[in-house]
Amino acid sequence: MADLSERTPESPGSLEKGAGGDAWKRFSRSLSGGSAGGALSTGNRVEVYFEGDDAFDAMRAAIRDARRFVHLEMYIFKADEVGWSFAEVLMERAEAGVAVRVIYDALGSIKANRKIFADMRARGVSVVAYRPLMSWRPRAGWLGRNHRKTLVVDGKTAFTGGMNLANAYSAKASGGRGWRDTAVRVDGPAARDCDEHFRQTWNTVTREHLLPPEPWEKPGHPAGCPCVVIGSYGLKQRRAIRRLYSVQLGLALDEVQMTVPYFAPPRRLRRALYLARARGLPVRVLVSRDTDVPMADWVREGLYPDLLLRDIEVHEYNAGVMHAKTMVVDGHVAVVGSANFDYVSVALNLELAIVVFDEEIARRLTEQYEKDLEGATRLSADWALSRPWWRRWMARVGAFVIRKL
């Protein structure tokens, strides 16, 4: 088999249709090759969650079942109802003798009451902040955040996706106004690959070298599926997430659908997106009409004329806040992770994503995509008429900025 590790969207190659045969091997090889690649494993069992409460229940249950260690890497860890519910189960396992380690991002969790972290430390949880904002603290800084939302239990079970630990992601805690988001659970060798990314970050932040867990003692689930775990390390390995998207777009044969709340890709990814459409592929993008970052909305809207010119189908979700980061290619390759389709995610932040080669998981994501479209409006040529003058002006400024990246 030819080495596809350096294949680009300009030369997509030949990927067989369907999930059978060597299709997933060829796709995964192009993802896992090179210095910015990911880890490939087979025999994984995968579950997806489209409601925060369902995901949080499963995550807390997994923590309660932990016997060796719990590793949590979270961009936003709030001291609200959801945050404290996780703090309690983490502290219980630590007091039971389980090694519990938590990394929270100092900027993402800046509004959290520090009591939640102090209480966890007092009851045996090892808690560290990623990149403190105070300049006198070791490894401080503002750029290059830890944007991951990953939980690993015993190196056998892992969760990741777009859900932070906050009431905003829970319909129960937010009075039915929870954000629409997606998370994924994987049981199998891919969980250990997720843990490797946590350990690298922990080693960097604490200078404490954690030895990897024992190799996966089982051959994997016979009915499981192949997965590739992709992690980026900011400036050190910034190609990983960009490669994830460019490979998907470059090897797609039938269709591409994306759900991304913050859409502001750099030039190379815009080119990959446009080339996929130029090959005749239907490309559908679902974005949030309004996010929690207005500047990101303005930059995204600055790209609308280019997308419409190329007949890329754009839908704006207006039934709440859309925060999911997912992608489905050709009906059998699915991606769920923390990375947005924007410059910050692909060039600066620590991110994590799982690529799943399974028609059933892809089908579930597609069904949810169609359901989300019921609360969305397709973008038309007169989209600007629904914006106030100042927002149209900001979109022009955003277009100028994003085209320079």
Q: What is the pLDDT of residue 252?
A: 92
Give the closest residue to 371 by CA, choosing from 335, 323, 319: 319
Q: Is 7 within a domain?
A: no
Q: What is the mean pLDDT of residues 376-386?
A: 91
Please report which confidence band the pLDDT of residue 222 belongs to, taking 50, 70 and 90 as the band edges. low
Of 154-158, 240-244, 319-323, the least confident = 240-244
- Residue 225: Cβ within 10 Å count: 25
Q: Cβ contacts of residue 143 below 8 Å, gap of 6+?
A: 348
Number of domains into which the chain is organized? 1
pLDDT at 217 exceeding the cut of 80 = no
Contact 105, 76 (CB under 8 A): yes
Q: What angle do CA 155, 157, 161 make, to 5 degrees?
A: 115
CATH assignment of the domain containing 69: 3.30.870.10
Please report which confidence band the pLDDT of residue 335 belongs to, taking 50, 70 and 90 as the band edges. very high
Q: What is the pLDDT of residue 139?
A: 67
| Six-digit token string for 26 | 């060829």
Q: What is the pLDDT of residue 35?
A: 45
Q: What is the mean pLDDT of residues 141-163?
A: 93
Q: What is the mean pLDDT of residues 34-52?
A: 83
| Six-digit token string for 80 | 């609200």
Give the closest residue to 378 by CA, choosing from 323, 315, 310, 298: 315
pTM > 0.85: yes
In this structure, the chain runs to a length of 405
Q: What is the mean pLDDT of residues 106-115?
A: 95
Please report which confidence band the pLDDT of residue 240 belongs to, taking 50, 70 and 90 as the band edges. confident
Q: Is 12 within a domain?
A: no
Q: What is the pLDDT of residue 18?
A: 41
Q: What is the mean pLDDT of residues 116-130?
A: 97
In terms of C-beta density within 10 A (0-12 exposed, 13-18 middle, 19 or more buried), how is residue 262 classed? buried
How far, CA to CA in Å, does 108 sit from each of 75, 78, 168, 229?
5, 9, 14, 23
pLDDT at 234 exceeding the cut of 50 = yes
Q: Cβ contacts of residue 124 below 8 Å, gap of 6+?
A: 91, 94, 95, 100
Please report which confidence band the pLDDT of residue 125 belongs to, taking 50, 70 and 90 as the band edges. very high
Please report which confidence band the pLDDT of residue 78 belongs to, taking 50, 70 and 90 as the band edges. very high
Q: What is the pLDDT of residue 33?
A: 55
Q: Is 166 within a domain?
A: yes
Give the span between the Cα atoms of 394 and 390, in whole angstroms: 6
Highest mean pLDDT among 57-61, 215-219, 349-353: 57-61
pLDDT at 216 exceeding the cut of 60 = no
Token match 């320079």: residue? Answer: 404
Q: What is the pLDDT of residue 329?
A: 94
What percent of the chain clears pLDDT 90, i.e. is strictly above it?
Answer: 63
Q: What is the pLDDT of residue 294?
A: 86
Q: Considering only residues 157 and 239, tell me which one the structure prediction assigns the higher pLDDT.
A: 157
Domain residue limits at 289 = 23-402
Of 98-102, 139-143, 268-272, 316-320, the least confident = 139-143
Q: Cβ contacts of residue 360 below 8 Å, gap of 6+?
A: none
Q: What pLDDT digit, counting tens, does each position of 44-75 carry?
A: 999 999 999 999 999 999 999 999 999 999 99
Q: What is the pLDDT of residue 144?
A: 84
Give the span between the Cα atoms of 368 and 199, in whole angstroms: 33
pLDDT at 11 exceeding the cut of 50 = no
Adjacent-strand bridge partners of 315: 286, 378
| Six-digit token string for 90 | 């983490």
Please report which confidence band the pLDDT of residue 143 belongs to, taking 50, 70 and 90 as the band edges. confident
Give the span between the Cα atoms of 387 and 404, in whole angstroms: 24
How far, CA to CA in Å, does 353 sit from each of 40, 148, 302, 401?
12, 9, 27, 27
Question: What is the SS3 assignment for the chain?
Answer: CCCCCCCCCCCCCCCCCCCCCCHHHHHHHHHHCCCCCCEEEEEEEEEEECCHHHHHHHHHHHHHCCCCEEEEEECCECCCHHHHHHHHHHHHHHHCCCEEEEEEECCCCCCCCCHHHHHHHHCCCEEEEECCCCCCCCCCCCCCCECCEEEEECCCEEEEECCCECHHHCCCCCCCCCCECCEEEEECHHHHHHHHHHHHHHHHHHCCCCCCCCCCCCCCCCCCEEEEEEECCHHHCCHHHHHHHHHHHHHCCCCEEEECCCEECCHHHHHHHHHHHHCCCCEEEEEECCCCCHHHHHHHHHCHHHHHHCCCEEEEECCCCECCCEEEECCCEEEEECCCEEHHHHHCCECEEEEEECHHHHHHHHHHHHHHHCCEEECCCCHHHHCCHHHHHHHHHHHHHHCCC
Q: What is the mean pLDDT of residues 386-401?
A: 86
Question: What's CA 358's distance to the chain center, in Å?
Answer: 18
Q: Is 9 within a domain?
A: no
Q: What is the pLDDT of residue 235?
A: 60
Contact 230, 337 (CB under 8 A): yes
Q: Is 8 within a domain?
A: no
Q: What is the pLDDT of residue 358?
A: 94
Q: What is the mean pLDDT of residues 333-354?
A: 91
Q: Is 1 within a domain?
A: no
Q: Cβ contacts of residue 389 below 8 Å, gap of 6+?
A: none
Q: Considering only residues 98 and 27, tell me which one the structure prediction assigns the higher pLDDT.
A: 98
Q: What is the pLDDT of residue 140?
A: 67
Adjacent-strand bridge partners of 46: 186
Contact 198, 229 (CB under 8 A): no
Q: What pLDDT digit, counting tens, does each position of 298-322 carry?
A: 889 999 999 999 999 999 999 999 9
